[in-house]
């Protein structure tokens, strides 16, 4: 049991004996453990070298006593634990290099083709179950193998801390049960946005693996035997990541109020209630004018300009200044 601390089974047997007595000579150890005297002497000497036993001065002479287990064993166990963690990290690094080598020489390691609705559904469930940090989704109107409403794995992943960013095609939200599914997801922690159209259905896990159909699904495709690609670390995966981020940047944030109503789905936002000064500020922002120049033109402090920009971002649901400018132009606010 103490092998992790560098103690052999024979040494452990003698050490356990010493722990139960005040001290013992080699002859006593030999007699009580059934070992030859020479073997008992050798084991006691090894325990002494490892700091597990020490000699004591008493009337018997040549007696040994056990060192305290916490002093003798715990430091070695801690050193071994550190070494084990380092070895585990080294193995992980080697595994990444090994997989990268395979991918460079074997296309099958880069792209896996999954055929059939059931096989694709299981693969999507598996990917979500293995996700550690983030799932990114393109949620198109027509599903291929699994509808968003039936994706219960999302809630389990959200519960263990996986972030979900989901882009919904506007036509999806017009389907039966779609809004209820969206509301449930957002309330569980999903971050949702909407765009007019999406080019494909797609899921990306931890920025390391993507799943997307190779042929259109739904009524216009082949719902009986859909075919999808599982794409791992490659230039293709980088392109899919860039595609997601590009659409995400221009998506309208979807929020759920206390009554369960979804806001943002139709691109609604403040319009007529904006003051002439706010419209002027937005027009300057869209034109690329700096905060300092805007402050000068509107006769405001630069800090006030920045505060009003933040207020407009909050009012429109924009996550960045670039998105605020895009939403302002799209919604006719300027």
Determine if the pTM surpasses 0.75: no
Taking the C-alpha atoms of residue 119 and residue 115, their distance in angstroms, rounded to an integer, is: 7
Average pLDDT of the residues in 138-164: 83
Whether residue 131 sits in one domain with residue 233: yes
Q: Which of 166, 163, 132, 126 is nearest to 149 (CA)?
A: 166
Whose structure tokens read 């960013």? 165
CB-hemisphere CA count at 13 Å for 132?
Answer: 4
How many angstroms separate the first and last alpha carbons of the chain? 75
Give, in degrees to the nearest 5, the angle at Cα 62 between 60 and 63. Answer: 70
Which residue, of 38, 71, 104, is where some domain finishes? 104
248 and 291 both lie in a single domain: no
Question: Above 70 in pLDDT, residue 117?
Answer: yes
Domain count, the chain: 3
User: Domain boundary residue among 228, 263, 298?
Assistant: 263
What are the percentages of helix, strand and coil residues in the chain, rounded to 5? 55, 15, 30
Spell out a b/e string for 205-229, using b for 16 or more CB atoms within 10 Å of the CB, else e.
beebbbbbbeebbeeeeeeeebbbb
Is pLDDT of 313 > 90? Answer: no
Identify the band that residue 147 occupies on the pLDDT scale cut at 50, 70 and 90. low
- Say if residues 114 and 203 touch (Cβ distance below 8 Å): no
Residue 262, SS3?
strand
pLDDT average, residue stretch 80-104: 70
Could you tell me if 128 and 97 are in contact, meaning their C-beta atoms sit under 8 angstroms apart?
no
Q: Structural domain of residue 239, as residue ranges?
A: 109-263
Tokens for 65, please give them: 């006593």
**Mutual angle of helices 291-298 and 302-316, in 10-degree steps:** 100
Q: How confident is the model at residue 270 (pLDDT cuts 50, 70, 90)?
A: very low
Residues 313 and 209 placed together within one structural domain of the fold: no
Q: Say if residue 19 is in the same domain as residue 78.
A: yes
| pLDDT number for residue 263 | 62
* Percentage with pLDDT > 90 across the chain: 16
Mean pLDDT of 205-227: 73
Task: Assess whether 88 and 157 both reside in one domain.
Answer: no
pLDDT of 271 strictly over 50: no
Residue 270, in any domain of the structure: no
Statement to judge: residues 97 and 173 lie in one domain: no
Would you say residue 104 has pLDDT above 80?
Answer: no
What pLDDT score does 219 carry? 46
Reading the block at residue 122, the tokens are: 């299981």
pLDDT at 217 over 80: no
Q: Which of 237, 263, 289 is the last residue of a domain?
A: 263
- Work out whether strand 191-195 and strand 209-213 pair parallel, antiparallel, or are unpaired: unpaired
Residue range 31-59, pLDDT digits in tens: 888 889 889 888 898 888 888 888 886 55
Residue 193 domain-assigned (yes or no) = yes
Domain identity same for 193 and 53:
no
Query: How many whole angstroms separate alpha carbon 278 and alpha carbon 284?
Result: 10
Instruction: Give residue 235's pLDDT.
Output: 84
What CATH number should be reported for the domain holding residue 323? 1.10.10.10
């Amino acid at each position: 049991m103490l092998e992790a601390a560098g103690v052999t089974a024979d040494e452990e047997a003698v050490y356990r004996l010493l722990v139960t007595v005040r001290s013992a000579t080699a002859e006593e150890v030999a007699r009580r453990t059934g070992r030859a005297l020479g073997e008992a002497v050798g084991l006691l000497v090894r325990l002494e070298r490892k700091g597990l036993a020490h000699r004591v001065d008493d009337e018997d002479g040549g007696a040994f006593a056990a060192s305290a287990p916490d002093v003798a064993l715990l430091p070695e166990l801690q050193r071994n634990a550190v070494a084990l963690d380092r070895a585990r990290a080294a193995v992980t690094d080697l595994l990444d290099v090994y997989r990268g080598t395979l991918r460079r020489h074997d296309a099958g390691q880069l792209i896996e083709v999954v055929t059939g609705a059931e096989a694709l559904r299981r693969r999507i469930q598996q990917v979500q179950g293995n996700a550690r940090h983030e799932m990114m989704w393109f949620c198109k109107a027509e599903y291929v193998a699994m509808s968003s409403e039936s994706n219960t794995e999302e809630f389990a992943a959200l519960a263990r801390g996986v972030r979900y960013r989901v882009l919904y095609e506007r036509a999806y939200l017009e389907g039966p049960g779609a809004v209820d599914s969206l509301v449930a997801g957002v309330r569980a922690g999903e971050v949702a946005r909407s765009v007019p159209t999406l080019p494909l259905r797609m899921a990306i896990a931890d920025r390391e693996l993507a799943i997307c159909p190779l042929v259109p699904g739904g009524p216009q495709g082949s719902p009986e035997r859909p075919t999808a690609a599982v794409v791992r670390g490659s230039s293709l995966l980088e392109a899919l990541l860039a595609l997601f981020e590009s659409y995400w940047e221009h998506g309208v944030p979807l929020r759920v109020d206390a009554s369960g109503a979804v806001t943002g789905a139709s691109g609604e936002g403040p319009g007529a209630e904006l003051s002439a000064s706010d419209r002027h500020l937005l027009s300057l922002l869209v034109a690329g004018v700096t905060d300092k120049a805007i402050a000068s033109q509107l006769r405001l402090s630069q800090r006030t300009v920045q505060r009003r920009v933040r207020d407009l971002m909050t009012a429109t649901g924009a996550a960045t200044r670039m998105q605020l400018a895009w939403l302002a132009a799209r919604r006719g606010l300027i």
